[in-house]
């Protein structure tokens, strides 16, 4: 329900307006003076303000100016007597939505109010889309629970502020574009375009024109000038996925663009400077293509200044549950609805090999949510292929642990477990013995006494 603030020092008009707008299903707040209206504007969000201009001591123009400052997206409709029309027109130049001249017609008022609320709704939708767009860049979509992905995130955060060229390699579906968007969203270019293109999807005959542009008449069908992808991404980031498919005939010109920072369109006689950060990706081992003379070595080293290798999902199982929760949050739009994943369903998801990687997992979650009847994801709503091909993790049998330590005394067993625990703690604090001692709640001297005897790995690297 939209909230409308009415401001008028004439009780009769205020009461009439309140009655009219309440009958439209709106939440109406009425204030009889400008000061009270300003306090209200500063205290709570308002969807529409309808204010008289002539009031004392604080008039409608002052209310309007405060509204523009405090709630700039809230439309303001001003009510004015015939003699103050010029003031209302000046207010519209300053951002007021509209004005009505007293005495106004009821239909005219309601139409103007509906238009203003439609405008407010569009502004809210715009803001929502902006937030959604902003979330698609940066690290909101990068799920990193596993050590491998955490290391990649740290690397991305370091290289993002620079203009260094990055080569992202990984199997299909591992999230190469997600990483590219995170780099762009954390860079100084984040307000500029992010242009993503799949090189494999562009016909070989057109790739040069698509990349570098063309001039009118340069070939059959070139009926107008075309700037190309480098020009489209000017000031921002150009992400070239599947760059391994780029024809050798284009690679030389592409290398020249990287070296000279300017492009010459097909059929053109002059070059255009371009300021673009380049990110490239491939699901193929580029070194093998270079060895096979299918990709220029000099171009490869230009592109792979910072190489990032994304592990397949099967090698980072710690990320499966967080990814499932991430995709559930995206799919389920009702904020109050809490979707859970049953233990049986989670075992199936963790036992599957995920040849399609993160993209396949996302589709599996979409499938599960689509068939969900309650609030629990169970094996019944998972894709049958995944259920049938999942290999459950081997269950530890009672006595397995005993077999492992059969020949150890209790003292030796406890010493082994202590060593394992010390290794974990030291690794968690990067070998810092003081921090380790605090975590273990023992003195530093006690920790030192244990280290030489136990031979804890990494102890020599501590303080």
pLDDT of residue 395: 54
Model confidence at 286: pLDDT above 90: yes
Q: What local confidence, expressed as pLDDT, does residue 433 receive? A: 84
Q: What angle do CA 329, 330, 333 make, to 5 degrees?
A: 80
C-beta separation of 23 from 47 below 8 A? no
Q: Which fold has domain 402-461?
A: Arc Repressor Mutant, subunit A (1.10.10)
Q: Strand 272-273 to strand 262-263: parallel, antiparallel, or no bridges (unpaired)? A: antiparallel
Residue 381 has pLDDT above 90, yes or no: yes
pLDDT at position 455, please? 41
Give the Cα separation of 341 and 324 in Å (integer).
Answer: 9
Q: Does the pLDDT of residue 172 top 50, yes or no?
A: yes
- Could you give the dihedral angle defined by the CA atoms of residues 376, 368, 135 and 185, in that order, rounded to the nearest 10 degrees? 130
Q: Which CATH number fits domain 147-311: 3.20.19.10, 3.40.309.10, 2.60.40.10, 3.40.50.300?
A: 3.40.50.300
| Six-digit token string for 435 | 């921090």
Say yes or no to pLDDT of 315 above 90: yes
Instruction: Identify whether 263 is preceded by a cis peptide bond (ω within 30 of 0).
Output: no
pLDDT of residue 346: 92
Q: Would you say residue 154 has pLDDT above 50?
A: yes
Residue 49 has pLDDT above 90, yes or no: yes
Section 294-304 average pLDDT = 94
Confidence tier at 461 by pLDDT (50, 70, 90): very low
Crossing angle of helices 433-440/444-454, nearest 10°?
110
pLDDT given at position 405:
62
Q: CA 436 to CA 429: how far, in whole Å?
A: 6
Mean pLDDT for the chain overall: 86
Q: CA dist 362 to 140, 280, 303, 325, 344, Å? A: 15, 23, 30, 10, 18
pLDDT at 442 over 60: yes
Please indicate whether the domains covering 147-311 and 402-461 agree at the CATH topology level.
Answer: no
The pLDDT score that the predictor gives to residue 7 is 95
pLDDT at 329: 85
Average pLDDT over residues 12-39: 93
CATH of domain 315-389: 1.10.8.60
Residue 313 and residue 355 in contact, taking contact as beta carbons nearer than 8 Å: no
Lowest mean pLDDT among 41-55, 113-127, 323-337, 385-399: 385-399
Please say if the pLDDT value at position 452 is more than 80: no
Instruction: Report whether pLDDT(24) > 80.
Output: yes
389-402, pLDDT tens digit by residue? Answer: 988 755 545 555 55
pLDDT at position 297 is 95
Residue 126 has pLDDT above 70, yes or no: yes
Tokens of 385: 């292929």
Kindly tell me the burial class for residue 133, based on how many C-beta atoms sit within 10 Å of its own C-beta (0-12, 13-18, 19 or more). Answer: exposed
Task: Give percent of the chain above pLDDT 70.
Answer: 90
At 84, the pLDDT band (50, 70, 90 cuts) reads low
- Count Cβ neighbours within 10 Å for each residue of 279-298 and write b for 16 or more, e otherwise: bbbbbeebeebbeeeebbee
CA angle 81, 82, 83 (to 5 degrees): 90
Is the model more confident about 130 or about 356? 356
What mean pLDDT is predicted for residues 38-54? Answer: 93
Alpha carbons within 13 angstroms on the beta-carbon side of residue 211 total 31
The per-residue pLDDT for 462 is: 46
Cα(first)–Cα(last) distance of the chain, in Å? 62
Which of 43, 83, 37, 88 has its CA nearest to residue 61? Answer: 88
Q: Characterize the bridge pairing of strands 3-7 and 27-31.
A: parallel
Please, which residues bridge with residue 124 across strands?
A: none
Contact (CB, 8 A) for 321 and 341:
yes
- Which residue ranges make up each domain of the chain? 3-133, 147-311, 315-389, 402-461
Q: Give the model confidence (pLDDT) of 227-285 as tens digits.
A: 889 989 999 999 999 999 999 989 999 999 999 999 888 888 788 898 999 999 999 99
Tokens representing residue 76 in the block: 């303001």
Domain made up of 3-133: CATH architecture: 3-Layer(aba) Sandwich (3.40)
pLDDT at 299: 95
pLDDT at 459 (0 to 100): 40
């Amino acid at each position: 329900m939209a909230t409308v603030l009415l401001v008028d020092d004439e009780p009769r008009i205020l009461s009439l307006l309140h009655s009219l707008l309440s009958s439209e299903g709106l939440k109406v707040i009425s204030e009889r003076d400008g000061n009270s209206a300003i306090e209200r504007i500063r205290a709570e969000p308002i969807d529409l303000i309808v204010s008289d201009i002539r009031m004392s001591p604080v008039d409608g123009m002052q209310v309007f100016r405060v509204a523009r400052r405090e709630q700039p997206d809230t439309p303001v409709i001003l009510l004015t007597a015939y003699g103050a029309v010029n003031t209302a027109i000046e207010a519209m130049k300053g951002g007021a939505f509209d004005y009505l001249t007293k005495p106004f017609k009821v239909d005219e008022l309601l139409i103007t109010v509906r238009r203003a609320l439609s405008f407010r709704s569009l502004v809210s939708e715009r803001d929502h889309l902006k937030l959604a767009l902003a979330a698609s860049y940066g690290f909101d979509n990068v799920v990193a629970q596993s050590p491998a992905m955490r290391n990649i995130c740290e690397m991305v955060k370091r290289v993002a502020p620079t203009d260094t060229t990055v080569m992202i390699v990984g199997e299909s579906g591992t999230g190469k574009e997600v990483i590219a968007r995170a780099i762009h969203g954390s860079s100084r270019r984040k307000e500029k375009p992010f242009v993503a293109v799949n090189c494999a999807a562009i016909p070989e005959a057109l790739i040069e024109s698509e990349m570098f542009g063309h001039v009118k008449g340069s070939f059959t069908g070139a009926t107008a000038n075309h700037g190309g992808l480098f020009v489209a991404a000017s000031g921002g980031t150009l992400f070239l996925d599947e760059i391994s498919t780029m024809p050798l005939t284009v690679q030389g010109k592409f290398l020249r663009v990287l070296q000279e920072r300017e492009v010459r369109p097909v059929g053109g006689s002059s070059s255009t400077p371009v300021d673009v950060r380049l990110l490239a990706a491939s699901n193929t081992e580029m070194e093998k293509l270079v060895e096979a003379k299918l990709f220029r070595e000099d171009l490869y080293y230009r592109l792979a200044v910072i190489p990032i290798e994304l592990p397949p999902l099967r090698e980072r199982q710690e990320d499966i549950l967080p990814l499932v929760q991430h995709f559930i949050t995206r799919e389920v739009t009702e904020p109050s609805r809490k979707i859970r994943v049953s233990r049986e369903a989670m075992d199936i998801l963790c036992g599957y090999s995920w040849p399609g990687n993160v993209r396949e997992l996302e589709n599996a979650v979409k499938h599960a949510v689509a068939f969900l009847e309650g609030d629990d994801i169970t094996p019944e709503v998972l894709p049958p292929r995944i259920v049938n091909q999942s290999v459950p993790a081997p269950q530890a049998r009672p006595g397995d642990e005993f077999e492992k330590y059969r020949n150890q005394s209790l003292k030796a067993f406890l010493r082994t477990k202590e060593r394992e625990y010390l290794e974990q703690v030291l690794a968690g604090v990067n070998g810092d013995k003081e921090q380790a001692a605090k975590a273990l709640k023992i003195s530093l001297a006690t920790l030192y006494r244990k280290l030489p005897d136990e031979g804890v790995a990494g102890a020599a690297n501590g303080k």
